[in-house]
A and B are shown apart, each in its own frame.
Chain A
């Protein structure tokens, strides 16, 4: 649609054949029965998910079917950062996440990559360092962060909060929590309960509201302690049969000691309780935070707030204001091999080297599926059109009601000649109905032989131009327009529909892209090939042992001709 006209999309039929799962509803089954009769509708909402340009499709040679991104399985081979091109081992991906752990960051406002700069005026590169966006000039100075070293920014950033505060690591958090709990415990032992609460809130006030991460780690620790307290350590439980652990050891010893068994009888486990303090992750709603946010919006307006896209890109999406932004570490990219979903054959496999763009295995639909393309049929030879661009056909302004001719060009990538049958509904689906006639729906296309074969044979036999050798090609039903070594073109007559007929219909005006003329064409090809050609490689089609195999393929394509204007 937004591609330049004319274009061709290929439909992968996996969306109606992949419903192998058991949840087929009766209505769906009925629909599928009708599906064979129905023509493909490029305007149906599902069509967007099954149409692909030919370049995006793979081909499984075992299943002899087109494979689209939906019907393949992807396996990650290796990970790398797209901005520093360093390979990241899988263990690091597991432990440190899906982002670059070096110094690659992108701007939280405009997503362009950021660079490290030294703030030092005199020397070359002396501390302090900052990250700055080269596009919008946002820098970490705006959130009050400076770095001591120019390398390893990610590690430094993990320790500095906005405004230069220190972010505790998980271990430090645990220690701090322990310390504060101890203080609290001591106080509660000394005094009665009300005083503990007051000290608790005092401590909170000093730090401000706890951050999202703080809360989460507090909750984690709380649940962990509760679950641990609940886990029964009775002998012969299905858990921890683990003789190296001290608990198991003491348990075994207890089995043989006579005194311990009765003494150690545990009382009934109490139910897991709720959190009771902010150290355990409890936050009581505080209207003051709300009021502060409202005041800030009122005073500082639109500029200090974040757009939804900026929020969702953040690691912690629960932010509201500009000064809460963090630079975004670059997401890692992967190299993936792709397998066919039904037979698990590898379809593509890139080279594992990061900087290489080559593939070890690459089974593209381009090499197996004839390419369809359409262009306007001009009376002039192509060279003349190219020179006079003013006369060039304007695909964005097809005239409604005016019959015009187009050439459908089919080129064959296979090493065997193919027999092509085209079918199209006589009027295009949708509200703007255009009439389409393919003048010659059945024809042959030559094999994709060696280019020198063609040069040699053309001098001997006049097959180059088919039946029409000398005189200019004519538009005639049942006859092809032109033919070459491995391509054939046929004429199509199109009468674009009236767009204003729809809008004056009493209904509302045209929707987006409804004026685009798209023709669904069903393509069926038949060819004979050597039965074992796949095993021996494709180039080896000459070794004819007589065991020919008949193959056929059929698929829907959608040809975008142009936009109707009038």
Chain B
């Protein structure tokens, strides 16, 4: 009986899983005999026979909801089946085909009055006073219908949903989204996972500082052992970047063709320019006002100043929707300016920023600074930059370089200004740094000297003798413990991630159960109010026995919680 069940499960797992069948190498790492892999399945019913454990509704679909895009697909696949944007063209009435009209396609769409830049392209925004939740529901419902009918093309079997959401969301908005998923998609249960944690998973890490440069805001989340421990946000993100790019392009257009009333560049064109040829200078400019570099390193940084190339490289941008259709030629360097203004704001002094508009590198530094020291050590060498804007070439390198410069200049000192004592503080710092430098140099010198066999070093300067037993111990630790690379800390290091969707796909594939699991029946009864107030629900199976032969199903939980969303 169970053998046939085994076959059934493996068949339904699909192609990509079949490839990842158990291998000797995996099993060799565990000190047990070869065994059939457990799929993490559980016996669901109270008195059920084991055969009943192969529940059919264990299938998942993975959906990531952002404010601009929805990504949806199946677990175990490396990319989502579809990435859909909330395009205003998709939001027209049924039977309104004007986007296919050859004349209409040439026209520029002017934004509606009273709407902010790109508002038609958003699903939601965090400020609920500005949006109509009914419209959000309609939009989301329509897009989910497209996902299911066009891209999933599933049979009628109900599938659970693994939903990746930003870690903070207003409850009315959440219940709107859940209403659609439970109501029109008829999901039996929804597991919520927060996207920073999933980004961490997709980078292969347990702890990370996830910098999600999204549309409306940049979210810096410190994740320690798969848990969000700290969070900082700034409005310097995609929207601001796109607005700055619009300014740059409009200026270029005016220069090119003279100013026409109302002939501003449209949102779509800006998006296209940004994603095609937008870039970011990957090396920070030495800025003496905000950064302090010691005398020894500054000459190197001078080289980072833009070397003027001749002839100046330019990019020609076609604008077929302008009237008349035209092409503008923009110096390549100007295309990097929006990122400079919008994300780093290098021209502005630090004290002029509001709390919600800190430049990215300062925000990351601040987030790291507020972490406990041990968490900081782990997080600073696992900086994961994700989000739509992070695809801008050069941006990741730039952020890391800026951060490194900041750390180098300030250290981990929470005090920003020592007032009258600042001179003394600086002096102490300099002394420290010079001492460190001296040490480093000496050790380098030693290395070169030690090659010389004629002059034996004094014992105090000689390297430690290698102890055989120490080596052996290290060796054993190396073999049994985690590899040393996974313990790296204390340096600024960026780690690439495959993105929250891929992380969700990995999690769903391993059948890992989330903390926040919402059952359809319970949700329809009480809504979000039904969640218990405790933030944590024990996922580990309880050890208490309910009598012989009774296995308490892991499928049932007494209560559910909203976890970080509570």
In-complex Cβ contact of B23 among A49, A174, A244, A273 (8 A):
A174
In-complex Cβ contact of A1 among B83, B93, B132, B139 (8 A):
B93
B271 interfacial by beta-carbon distance below 8 Å: yes
B50 close to A241 (CB less than 8 A): yes
In-complex Cβ contact of A298 among B33, B332, B484, B493 (8 A):
B332
A76 close to B179 (CB less than 8 A): no
CB-CB < 8 A to A385: which residues of B?
A: none
A242 close to B94 (CB less than 8 A): no
B277 close to A217 (CB less than 8 A): no
* A-facing residues in B25-65 (Cβ within 8 Å): 25-27, 29-38, 40-43, 50
Contact status of A285 and B396, CB under 8 A, knowing A170-B19, A511-B112 = yes
Alpha-carbon separation in the docked complex, A299 to B554 (Å)? 58
* A-facing residues in B194-213 (Cβ within 8 Å): 201-206
At the interface with chain B, which of A111-119, A131-139, A223-231, A456-464? A223-231
CB-CB < 8 A to A281: which residues of B?
A: 204
A94 close to B482 (CB less than 8 A): no
Contact status of A170 and B20, CB under 8 A, knowing A220-B76, A290-B282, A511-B112 = yes
B276 close to A23 (CB less than 8 A): no
* B-facing residues in A284-333 (Cβ within 8 Å): 284-285, 287, 290-291, 293-294, 297-299, 301-302, 305-308, 311-312, 315-318, 320, 331-332
A229 close to B474 (CB less than 8 A): no
Contact status of A297 and B393, CB under 8 A, knowing A284-B494, A290-B282, A312-B85 = yes
A69 interfacial by beta-carbon distance below 8 Å: yes
CB-CB < 8 A to A97: which residues of B?
A: 15, 81
In-complex Cβ contact of A174 among B19, B175, B394 (8 A):
B19
* Chain B nearest CB, measured from A42 CB (Å): 9
* A-facing residues in B405-419 (Cβ within 8 Å): none
B95 interfacial by beta-carbon distance below 8 Å: yes
Q: Encode contact with A along B77-91: 1 for CB under 8 Å, 0 otherwise.
A: 011111111000001
B95 close to A56 (CB less than 8 A): yes
A212 close to B78 (CB less than 8 A): yes
B396 close to A227 (CB less than 8 A): no
* Chain B nearest CB, measured from A361 CB (Å): 17
B43 close to A277 (CB less than 8 A): no
* B-facing residues in A210-243 (Cβ within 8 Å): 212-213, 215-217, 219-225, 227-229, 231, 233, 238-243
* B-facing residues in A167-220 (Cβ within 8 Å): 169-171, 173-174, 177-178, 181-182, 188-189, 192-193, 197, 212-213, 215-217, 219-220
At the interface with chain A, which of B161-169, B182-190, B246-254? B182-190
In-complex Cβ contact of A290 among B31, B155, B156, B393 (8 A):
B393
Alpha-carbon separation in the docked complex, A332 to B528 (Å)? 37
B14 interfacial by beta-carbon distance below 8 Å: yes
Contact status of A240 and B23, CB under 8 A, knowing A225-B29, A287-B282 = no
Alpha-carbon separation in the docked complex, A222 to B506 (Å)? 10
* Chain A nearest CB, measured from B560 CB (Å): 15
A56 close to B94 (CB less than 8 A): yes
CB-CB < 8 A to A9: which residues of B?
A: 93, 95
A70 close to B141 (CB less than 8 A): yes
Interface size class of chain B, counting residues whose CB lies under 8 Å from the partner chain: 35 or more
* Chain B nearest CB, measured from A324 CB (Å): 13
* Chain A nearest CB, measured from B344 CB (Å): 15
B172 interfacial by beta-carbon distance below 8 Å: yes
Contact status of A22 and B525, CB under 8 A, knowing A284-B496, A334-B153 = yes
CB-CB < 8 A to B279: which residues of A?
A: 293-294, 297
Alpha-carbon separation in the docked complex, A302 to B277 (Å)? 7
Alpha-carbon separation in the docked complex, A170 to B13 (Å)? 14
Alpha-carbon separation in the docked complex, A244 to B184 (Å)? 42
A93 interfacial by beta-carbon distance below 8 Å: yes
B352 interfacial by beta-carbon distance below 8 Å: no
The residue among A239, A248, A281, A508 with the most chain B CB atoms within 10 A of its own CB is A239
B2 close to A242 (CB less than 8 A): yes
B216 interfacial by beta-carbon distance below 8 Å: no
Alpha-carbon separation in the docked complex, A287 to B494 (Å)? 10
Alpha-carbon separation in the docked complex, A380 to B184 (Å)? 51
A79 interfacial by beta-carbon distance below 8 Å: yes
Contact status of A95 and B14, CB under 8 A, knowing A220-B76, A244-B2, A287-B397 = yes
In-complex Cβ contact of B97 among A2, A70, A222, A332 (8 A):
A2
A295's nearest neighbour on chain B, judged by CB, is B393
Contact status of A336 and B94, CB under 8 A, knowing A227-B40, A247-B33, A283-B495 = no
CB-CB < 8 A to A74: which residues of B?
A: 149
B315 close to A285 (CB less than 8 A): no
In-complex Cβ contact of A331 among B98, B151, B471 (8 A):
B151
In-complex Cβ contact of A220 among B282, B394, B471, B509 (8 A):
B509
A216 close to B502 (CB less than 8 A): yes
Report the number of A-B residue pairs with Cβ-Cβ less than 8 Å: 325
B32 close to A233 (CB less than 8 A): yes
A53 close to B14 (CB less than 8 A): no
Alpha-carbon separation in the docked complex, A329 to B462 (Å)? 66
In-complex Cβ contact of A302 among B176, B318, B494, B499 (8 A):
B318
A334 close to B94 (CB less than 8 A): no
Alpha-carbon separation in the docked complex, A473 to B97 (Å)? 38
B299 interfacial by beta-carbon distance below 8 Å: no
CB-CB < 8 A to A229: which residues of B?
A: 29-30
A219 close to B76 (CB less than 8 A): no
B38 close to A79 (CB less than 8 A): no
Q: Encode contact with B along A436-470: 1 for CB under 8 Å, 0 otherwise.
A: 00000000000000000000000000000000000
A276 close to B485 (CB less than 8 A): yes
B25 close to A238 (CB less than 8 A): no
B154 interfacial by beta-carbon distance below 8 Å: yes
B93 close to A48 (CB less than 8 A): yes
* Chain A nearest CB, measured from B553 CB (Å): 8
B501's nearest neighbour on chain A, judged by CB, is A317
B396 close to A245 (CB less than 8 A): no
A308 close to B149 (CB less than 8 A): no
Alpha-carbon separation in the docked complex, A240 to B3 (Å)? 12
CB-CB < 8 A to B260: which residues of A?
A: none
B113 close to A220 (CB less than 8 A): no
* Chain A nearest CB, measured from B225 CB (Å): 8
CB-CB < 8 A to A255: which residues of B?
A: none
A394 interfacial by beta-carbon distance below 8 Å: no
CB-CB < 8 A to A220: which residues of B?
A: 20, 76, 506, 509
* A-facing residues in B427-477 (Cβ within 8 Å): 471, 474-475
A90 interfacial by beta-carbon distance below 8 Å: yes
19 contacts between A and B (CB under 8 A): A20-B183, A23-B527, A188-B478, A192-B478, A215-B498, A224-B510, A231-B38, A238-B43, A241-B50, A244-B2, A246-B33, A247-B33, A276-B484, A283-B496, A285-B494, A290-B393, A294-B279, A301-B316, A331-B151
Beyond contacts A182-B25, A245-B36, A284-B496: 13 other A-B pairs, Cβ-Cβ < 8 A, are A2-B92, A9-B93, A95-B15, A98-B81, A188-B478, A192-B471, A223-B201, A227-B512, A246-B35, A283-B495, A285-B385, A302-B315, A308-B275
**Which residues from chain B sit less than 8 Å from chain A, CB to CB?**
2-3, 6, 12, 14-16, 18-20, 22-27, 29-38, 40-43, 50, 76, 78-85, 91-98, 101, 104, 109-110, 112-113, 132, 134-135, 138-139, 141-142, 145, 149-156, 172, 175-176, 178-179, 182-184, 186, 201-206, 271-272, 275-277, 279, 282, 313, 315-318, 332, 383, 385, 391, 393-397, 400-401, 471, 474-475, 478-479, 481-486, 493-496, 498-499, 502, 505-506, 509-510, 512, 523-528, 541, 551-554
9 tightest A-B CB contacts, nearest first: A170-B19, A247-B35, A285-B494, A275-B204, A2-B98, A216-B78, A276-B483, A287-B397, A49-B138
**Which residues from chain A sit less than 8 Å from chain B, CB to CB?**
1-3, 9, 15, 18, 20-23, 25, 45-49, 51-53, 56, 69-70, 73-76, 79, 90, 93-98, 169-171, 173-174, 177-178, 181-182, 188-189, 192-193, 197, 212-213, 215-217, 219-225, 227-229, 231, 233, 238-248, 250, 266, 270, 272-277, 280-285, 287, 290-291, 293-294, 297-299, 301-302, 305-308, 311-312, 315-318, 320, 331-332, 334, 336, 507-508, 511-512
